[in-house]
Each structure stands twice: as structure tokens, then as C-alpha cells.
Amino acid sequence: MEMTPANRDKAIRTGQDDVLTEQVEAIYSQLPNLSLGNVLGTLILIAIYRDMVAPVSMWGWTLLNLSLVLLTYPVLVHRYRRRPVGQNPRRWLRAAVLMGTLRALVWGSIPLAFAVPGSLQYELVNYVFVLVGVGMALLHSAPHRLLFFGSVPAMLMPVTILFVLQGSELTLTLAVGNLFYWGLLHRMFGRLHAMLLQNIRLKHRSSALATQLEVQKNAAEEADAAKSRFLATASHDLRQPLQAQILFTEELAARVQDGPAREVLERLQRSVSEMRTMFDELLDISRLEARSLQPKPRRLAIQKLIDGMTSELEALAQEKHIDMRVVRSSACVRSDPALLTRILRNLLSNAVQHTASGRVLVGCRRRGPWLRLEVHDTGPGIPAAEQSRIFGEFYRLDAGGGGHRGLGLGLAIVQRLCPLLGCHLELSSRPGRGSCFCLLIPRARCPSPVERRQQRRAPGDDLAGRRLLLIDDDPEILRALAGTLDAWSCDVATADSLEQALARLETSWTPELVIADYHLGGGETGTEAIRALRERLQVALPAVLLTADAGARAQREALALDVELLHKPVAPARLRALLAYILSPHYRPPARRSVNPG
């Protein structure tokens, strides 16, 4: 927006007033010390001349001088400090100049009031007192020219006139010396005034820059918050139909076993999987920006995580004729399994997607308190100029392997998750030769054979006949999830509200586990439904809470209820494994798992 001449003049006047206000503030801040020095000098003069000059002259000058001191401080200074904010500073400048001129004239008249006839010694003492006053006036008047020209000449003028009237060679020399001294003082004042004025202007310029930076910082934070709100809202609204799509394709896969339709179905499943990966990345980045991720570290066998990730990517690697090799490790680490899995999935999927041919190698090395997990690939490599940029949000390199390009959030998520887990990420790459991502993970003591036997779960995850209650106000999600559970031979009951869920309990049918969506109709939440069902049945009914929100509220409420939390969209295999674990005799609720040793 272009500034008009009127606005430009107003801005200039405002800037000038701000500088003048600082000058006046500097003047008034010195008045207390100046007044104290004046009183001290007066007492010294009285002590020196109490028996040397006429009492009328001495006490008359003292009364006049101290009256001006009292008018200046505390009266004038006190009124200045109680002035209304934004009052015109010129008024206070005029008052300071007037009082400064009067005080200078009185102080400059010391040689007249304390004159000792025929005594050169006392004349020089009086002259010294005047020069000391001139030095103090010079420092006090440095903020503004008007004060300098009103006080310093007024202080030197009486003694200079006295020297001229005396007419001796010495006094005339001193009078000429006063003129030269005035010139020197004027030069010194110019330098002091310029330095002080420059400091004041620099201060205001810095203040203006700081204000602009604060405005820009607030705007950037608001834009960042708006982006986070958009990501959270978009991920919530779009993940609902995606969850239904995943469940429907899973149910369709159980019915279509072979033929051309099976091939089409497999392509559809891959597309849905890629879409789910994109939404997972959006959810992860929004949760990281909202600082709602709370790691729950525990002891993990690293090979189990690696096996899970490589099995997920094995089909894609075979399709691209990539040799995926894994150097097995018996080491254990201490980390959050879900967040560490996300890091490994991003690193491995990047390696496979960006490798056109060759191999991907995954292995671990023990390095003191760390486990060094390395992911090598024979992809196109990353130029040195790009290596610091690939960790930025939505930054994508050319997919040299011809794979799915994604949103460009994977490595940004990895870099942000590493500090949360106490991990360190390193990258080495040579264009044309490939890349190696190295993840340093805190090591943990592996369980002994006795501990492994105690932690071993029952084989199989058969859910046949298990009674499950589904609560969701979205009919598509409810129908799709019920169909998936029916395919697993579960005994399923559905409800679209808390009232309907409680009505299910009026029959002889009692659920063994509840799956509830976090947001239900009418302002109800899944946590309220789970709590009400537990109160009705008087048992700690196991439950799974589903949510598409990126915030920390659902996570806090799930932890308070000691129930499992899953973010949509949920892969059917993951849901089945979790349900089997919850219904097994070896199930440990989240609160007990969070204090796992190791």
C-alpha cells in the first residue's frame, strides 16, 4: 500500500516527537544528581566564606539558589514523572530550558555574591566554582541545543563581564580566555550532542525493527497454526471415508480369490495403501507441529521391527526386481515401538521407491550405548547440495526408481521424530552410487531366556466367536467395520450412539471388547461411551478408541481410561493383531506397558 504525503508527514512528525521525548527524558533524568551537586557546592561555599563576605549577600544568594533547586527538584521533576502518557514533550523542554537558564545565571553570579575585595586568591576560588558549574551544565545540556545555549553562556556571562569591568591585565586575559573556553565548550557539546542523538535514533530504529519482527513473527506463527489446523481438519474429514474404503477392499479381497478381478483388486489395494500412507504422513506432521506426540519407550527386539517393515515392502521390491537383504540382529533397543516403526518405514520405503534396480541392505551394528541401524541402497544418490534440503516439508527428489513419489513428508517426519526418541540420524550419499541412512538408537538389555518365556504370548490370534461391540455414528464406517469383523467370524453388535449401546446391554448379550469412535453424534465421545458401559457392567471392559484427530486430547483421554488408541485409517491386519492381543490372557493395558523395564 502506497503511503500518501499526509501519512508520510504524520509519520515523520511522530518519529521526531519520539526522538524529542527521549531527549527530554535524558534531561530530566539528570536533574536529581545536578540538584544534589548544586546543594553540595552551596554548602562548601558557605563553609569557605561564612566569615569573609557580608551575610546579606551570602544568605540572599543561598536562598535564591536553593529556591531554584527546590523548584527544579522535586517539584518540576515530580510533575514530569506524573505527566499524562503521550503529552507534548516541547512543553517540558521549555520548562527545563527556563529553569536551567535561571539556575545558570544564579550560579554564574558567585563571583559577585562572594566577592572578597583585594583578594586574588578568593577570586580564583570563585572562578573555579563557576567552571565546575559550567562542566556540569555541559553534560546536562548535551541532549538538546536549546538547553546548552540557555545555560552555558548564562553561567559564563557574569564572570566574563566582571573580568572586563575590573580592567586589569590579568582579568582581561581571563575574559578573553572565557571566550576561547566557550568556543571549546561549543565544539565539545557538538560531539556529545551528535553521539547522544545518534544513540537515541538507533534505539528507535531498533525498536521499530523489533516491532516489525514481532509482527512478522506473529504472522508467521498464525500462518503455521492455520496450516496445522488445515492439516488436522483435512486429515480428520478425509480419513473417515478412507477408513471405510480400506475395510470394504479387505472384505472384497476375502471374496475375490482369482481371475482378472483379483488383479484389479490388488491394484486397488496398492492405491488405497499409498493413499493411507499419505494420510499417515499428514497426520504425523500435524501431530508433531501440535506437539501432541508423547513417546512411550519400552524394550524392543529390533529384528522384529525390521522383519515387519521388510515384509510390508517385499512385494514392491520383488515387482521392481530389487534384492532386499537383511543382516539379522539379536540386539534390543529402548524406544517407542509405534514411532520407531514410523521412522523405519519411511527410511525403507524411500530406499525401495528410489532404487530402480540393484539392492537394499538393512543391518545393525553395536556402538557402545547405541545401536547403529543402517539402510543402504543402490539408488541414484543424493547430490551434496540437496542433502540438507531433503529433510524439509513437502520437498521431493526425483523418484529415480520410478516409484510413487508421495507428499515429500517422510524424511521431515523422520528428522522430527528422532529427537523425541533420543535418536540421531546420519546421511552419506554419492550420486550414481547410492545412499546410506544411519539411525543411532539407544540400546537396551535383552531379556533373559526366563523373561522371554514369561513374556511369550499364546500362539494364534483366532477371534472366532468373540463378542465385540462397535460404536460409530458414521453408517458407512460402521457397516464396513462390522463386515470386516464378520469375516473374522466375530460375534458383532453395532450402535450409532451411547443410548443404543446401552440398549444392547438390556439383552443377555454382553460384549468382551468395545471399539468406539472418538467423535459420536450429539456432542458425545467414545470415551464417555466406554466409561458408561463399564459403569453399567461393573467391569474394566477392554476397549479400542478410534480417532482421526491429530490433537492430544483423544490421546490423554484414552490414557486416562487405560484403553488402546488407533488413528484412522487403520490397516485391518493391525486391527486384528491388536484385538487378538487384547483378548489374549497375556494382555497388558497401556498404563502397565508404559512402565515396562529395559
- Any residues with CB less than 8 A from the CB of 313 and at least 6 apart, and which? 324, 348, 349, 352
Largest interatomic CA distance in the chain: 132
Question: Closest by alpha carbon to 331, among 363, 308, 361?
Answer: 363
Q: What is the pLDDT at residue 8?
A: 53
The domains of the chain are located at 5-166, 295-447, 467-593
Q: What is the pLDDT at residue 122?
A: 87
We find that the CATH architecture of domain 295-447 is 2-Layer Sandwich (3.30)
**What is the pTM for the complete model shown?**
0.46
Q: How many CA atoms lie within 13 A of 397 on its CB side?
A: 24
Place of cell 453399567: 536
* 467-593: CATH class: alpha beta
Q: How deeply is 134 buried, as exposed, middle or buried, from its count of CB atoms within 10 A (0-12, 13-18, 19+)?
A: buried
15: enclosing H helix or E strand: helix 5-49
Nearest 10 degrees: Cα torsion 419, 562, 542, 464: 10
Q: What is the pLDDT at residue 376?
A: 93
Question: Closest by alpha carbon to 89, among 154, 144, 152, 35?
Answer: 144
Asked whether the beta carbons of 514 and 533 are under 8 A apart, the reply is yes
Q: What is the pLDDT at residue 1?
A: 42
Question: Closest by alpha carbon to 484, among 445, 450, 515, 528?
Answer: 515
Per-residue pLDDT of the chain (598 residues; tens, 9 = 90+): 444 555 555 555 556 777 888 888 888 888 888 888 899 999 999 999 988 888 999 999 999 999 988 887 778 888 888 887 667 788 888 988 999 999 999 999 999 899 888 888 888 898 899 989 998 988 888 888 999 999 999 999 988 888 888 888 888 888 898 889 888 988 998 898 888 888 888 887 887 788 888 888 888 778 767 766 665 666 566 666 666 677 777 777 777 767 777 777 777 766 676 666 666 666 666 666 666 667 888 888 898 888 888 887 887 788 888 898 999 988 999 998 888 988 898 899 888 888 888 899 999 999 999 999 999 999 888 888 787 788 876 666 655 544 455 566 778 888 888 988 899 999 998 888 899 999 999 999 887 766 665 555 444 457 888 899 999 988 888 888 888 888 888 889 999 888 888 888 887 788 999 999 988 888 888 999 999 999 988 888 999 999 877 667 788 888 888 899 888 778 788 888 889 889 888 888 887 665 443 3
Asked whether the beta carbons of 283 and 235 are under 8 A apart, the reply is yes
Can you say whether the dihedral through the CA atoms of 349, 352, 355, 358 is positive or negative?
positive
Q: Residue 470 — left, alpha, or beta (φ > 0 → left; ψ -120 to 50 → alpha)?
A: beta
- Cα separation of 578 and 563, whole Å? 12
Q: How deeply is 25 buried, as exposed, middle or buried, from its count of CB atoms within 10 A (0-12, 13-18, 19+)?
A: middle
Asked whether the beta carbons of 510 and 467 are under 8 A apart, the reply is yes
Q: How deeply is 436 buried, as exposed, middle or buried, from its count of CB atoms within 10 A (0-12, 13-18, 19+)?
A: middle
Q: How many CB atoms lie within 10 A of CB 479?
A: 17
Q: How many CB atoms lie within 10 A of CB 551?
A: 15
Question: Closest by alpha carbon to 235, among 284, 290, 283, 293?
Answer: 283
Asked whether the beta carbons of 282 and 234 are under 8 A apart, the reply is yes
- Cα separation of 400 and 392, whole Å? 19
Q: How deeply is 395 buried, as exposed, middle or buried, from its count of CB atoms within 10 A (0-12, 13-18, 19+)?
A: middle
Q: What is the pLDDT at residue 372?
A: 94
